[in-house]
Amino acid sequence: MVHMTTGTTAHAADADIEAIEQVVATVEHSQQHKDPDEFLGLFHPDAVWTTGGGKVLIGLDAISEFTRRVLPAADWDGKVTYEVVHVLFIRPDVAAVKVRQLYLTPGEESEGAPLYVMSKQDDGRWLLTACQNTVVPTES
């Protein structure tokens, strides 16, 4: 994993990276278990989410409506992994987080390359704030 830190001390950056990795691990867990409540608990109330299909969702209400409709009904079997591959601290309380996402189904694998802009709250929690989920095309 590659980390770039700007404007933070190494100790603070290590703790923040661990917290960011935990958010991504919770995204993975919520997707594996198709749990909209766990997933939605990771978002800033004013978040922007762009789905892998390009649908733009602005605010937690729109993200919630979409997620509650789509996630429990997803037709994959829940085998998905998320790996933090790069963290860029834009400011000590704002990070751009590049993630590698793999959906694994019998005989098929698909990949995503989400970018999560996360913000650190006054209570120390990191929340998903502006996110773009991008599908990686398969080579033919």
Query: What 3-state DSSP class applies to 120?
Result: strand
DSSP string, 4-48: E-SSS-HHHHHHHHHHHHHHHHHHHHHHHTT-HHHHHTTEEEEEE
Per-residue model confidence (pLDDT) at position 70: 92
- The predicted pLDDT at position 4 comes to 53
pLDDT per residue over 25-74, tens digit each? Answer: 999 999 999 999 999 999 999 999 999 889 999 999 999 999 999 988 87
Beta-carbon contacts of residue 107 (< 8 Å; ≥ 6 apart): none
Least confidently predicted of 3-7, 84-88, 113-117: 3-7
Q: Which pTM value belongs to this model? A: 0.88
130 forms beta bridges with 48, 117
Whether the per-residue pLDDT at 1 is higher than 50: the answer is no
Write down the pLDDT at residue 76. 67
The encoded tokens of residue 113 equal: 């390359």
